[in-house]
Amino acid sequence: MRVAMIGSGYVGLVSGACFADFGHHVVCIDVDQAKIDNLKAGIMPIYEPGLDELVATNVEAGRLRFTTDIADGMADAEAVFIAVGTPSRRGDGHADLSYVHAAARDIARQIRRFTVVVNKSTVPVGTGDVVEQIIRETAPDADFAVASNPEFLREGAAIGDFKRPDRIVIGVEDPRARAVLEELYRPLFLNEAPILVTGRRTSELIKYAANAFLAVKITFINEIADLCEKTGANVQQVARGIGLDKRIGPKFLNAGPGYGGSCFPKDTLALIRIAEEHETRLRIVEATVEANDRRKLAMGDKVIAACGGSVAGRTIAILGLTFKPETDDMRDAPSIDIINVLQAAGARIVAHDPEGENQARAILKDVEYRPDAYAAVEGADAAVIVTEWDEFRALDLARLKSLLAAPVIVDLRNIYRRDEMERHGFAYTAVGR
């Protein structure tokens, strides 16, 4: 099949490359000329393991190309995906749909045959109706159908998630759209990937509900971790004890500094606003957002407490800046709030992240970046593990202690054992243990 992907960011680029790898012919379209030029040169706009190789393979095979010209990109397309950003709107937390609406108008002007227009961006309930209205108003004679096909890609594991999905959700009101999308995803039927066909509005809500539920689960175990610290319990064992219950499951029960990234923060806020617009309340989600915001700030206070109650004039080494490993994404990363708290308390910050330094420089001020973990901790009064990159999981503890000015470790990801750290002479602080 021939596919056009409007937007060549995280979702559009990964989805487009994977569709091409299935054998479809894909054109990724973006208004950013520099991004398209870089993609043509094999330079990825994001860090995602395996993406550069996947793109290169399919470009070489002639199944994937890039352009800023929507007329060229849509010339033979049977399906056109909208995969543009929907950031939180400043001031009210609503999803900003301006890019989606602009894409709908651009698509409408290029429709020459029956075309399925697919919302892959995360959008509020009813956005498919609005997109359909925009296209009809812009091109009254166009033959098209609008569908919803939300993405469920984890940063750092996106290619595997696309090719081996837990489920494929398709929201349609037109049987022709269903047929096109089922044909597009037919290669995944061989792996017996579950496909759920729903109405368009149901599909749109599934995405928000899924992310909100996972955010609730993360926040729940983080608050249980606080209780564990007060009672002398071990949150890792609590998590395992409840995760063995098949009704609960073990995933997203790792206590830490709070959630961040491109999805959970903006999607929970947007879902709250959607509920308010429909005169209902999602009190659990509201409490989750509030608790997560507090938690990230509290992790800064936790570091200060581990340093004896003051970090004024002290150097704190931050190991890991991105919101999770295997990505360069700094959006709403816990490290931002933690560093802000520490700097406000008078600390000097040095940091190392394997992939996030360039993104971090645009967000964080007065941070000194070091090339590796050992360089970061040299002369520091404490080291704080914020992101659980693999290279931080097996540090040479003797070397680490010899480089630190004071043997203080704050492990916000619980990747080390207390007995091991104390045997090496560290004052060790973990989460919920």
Residue type, 432: G
Q: Domain boundary at 289, 320, 335, which?
A: 289
Residue 246 falls inside a structural domain: yes
Q: What angle do helix axes 127-138 and 200-231 make, rounded to 10 degrees?
A: 150
Q: Using one digit for the tens of pLDDT, what is the confidence trace for 270-317?
A: 999 999 999 999 999 999 999 999 999 999 999 999 999 999 999 999
Q: Between the CA of residue 178 and those of 126, 174, 183, what are the distances in Å?
A: 18, 7, 9
Contact indicator for 349, 318 with CB cutoff of 8 Å: yes
Is the domain of 285 the same as that of 317?
no
Is the domain of 11 the same as that of 53?
yes
Mean pLDDT of 3-12: 96
The CATH code of the domain that includes 148 is: 3.40.50.720
Backbone dihedral angles phi then psi of residue 361, each to the nearest 5 degrees: -60, -30
Contact indicator for 21, 51 with CB cutoff of 8 Å: no
Euclidean distance between CA atoms 149 and 18, whole angstroms: 15
Q: Domain boundary at 249, 264, 289, which?
A: 289
Q: Using one digit for the tens of pLDDT, what is the confidence trace for 93-113?
A: 888 999 999 999 999 999 999
Structure confidence at residue 193 as a pLDDT band (50, 70, 90): confident
Is the domain of 116 the same as that of 233?
no
What is the chain's alpha carbon radius of gyration, rounded to the nearest angstrom?
23
Q: Between the CA of residue 40 and those of 28, 223, 427, what are the distances in Å?
A: 11, 47, 50
Euclidean distance between CA atoms 168 and 335, whole angstroms: 33
Residue 6 falls inside a structural domain: yes
Euclidean distance between CA atoms 279 and 67, whole angstroms: 43
Euclidean distance between CA atoms 259 and 273, whole angstroms: 20
Q: Using one digit for the tens of pLDDT, what is the confidence trace for 362-414?
A: 999 999 999 999 999 999 999 999 999 999 999 999 999 999 999 999 999 99
Q: Assign 171 to helix, strand or coil.
A: strand
Is the domain of 269 the same as that of 346?
no
Residue 335 falls inside a structural domain: yes
Place of tokens 């509020």: 124
Residue 375 falls inside a structural domain: yes
Q: Could you tell me which of 331, 332, 271, 295 has the C-alpha nearest to residue 221?
A: 295
Please give the tally of structural domains in the chain: 3
Is the domain of 319 the same as that of 284?
no
Residue 203 falls inside a structural domain: no
Residue 80 falls inside a structural domain: yes
Residues 6+ positions from 277 with CB-CB distance below 8 Å: none
Has residue 90 got a pLDDT over 90? no
Q: Domain boundary at 198, 219, 252, which?
A: 198
Is the domain of 239 the same as that of 155?
no
Is the domain of 216 the same as that of 170?
no
Is the domain of 40 the same as that of 174?
yes
- Active-site residue flag, 263: yes
Strand partners, 318: 351, 384
249: left (phi over 0), alpha (psi -120 to 50) or beta: left
Residue 408 falls inside a structural domain: yes
Q: Between the CA of residue 229 and those of 104, 311, 352, what are the distances in Å?
A: 51, 22, 28
Residue 10 falls inside a structural domain: yes
Is the domain of 174 the same as that of 320?
no
pLDDT score of 189: 79
- The one-character DSSP state at 392 is G
Euclidean distance between CA atoms 40 and 47, whole angstroms: 16
Is the domain of 154 the same as that of 47?
yes
Q: Assign 387 to helix, strand or coil.
A: coil
pLDDT score of 393: 95
Euclidean distance between CA atoms 411 and 387, whole angstroms: 9
pLDDT score of 71: 96
Strand partners, 231: none
**DSSP per residue, 285-335:** HHHHHHHHHHHHHHHHHHHHHHTTS--TT-EEEEE--SSSSS----TT-HH
Backbone dihedral angles phi then psi of residue 249, each to the nearest 5 degrees: 80, 155
Percent of the chain residues topping a pLDDT of 90:
96
Q: Could you tell me which of 76, 128, 77, 72 has the C-alpha nearest to residue 104?
A: 128
Q: How many CB atoms lie within 10 A of CB 358?
A: 12
Contact indicator for 351, 362 with CB cutoff of 8 Å: no
Is the domain of 285 the same as that of 191?
no
The CATH code of the domain that includes 243 is: 1.10.1040.10
Is the domain of 192 the same as that of 212?
no
Residues 6+ positions from 138 with CB-CB distance below 8 Å: 104, 105, 108, 109
Domain that holds residue 224: 208-289
- The one-character DSSP state at 391 is G
Q: What is the pTM of this model?
A: 0.93
Catalytic residue among 18, 28, 263, 307: 263
Structure confidence at residue 22 as a pLDDT band (50, 70, 90): very high
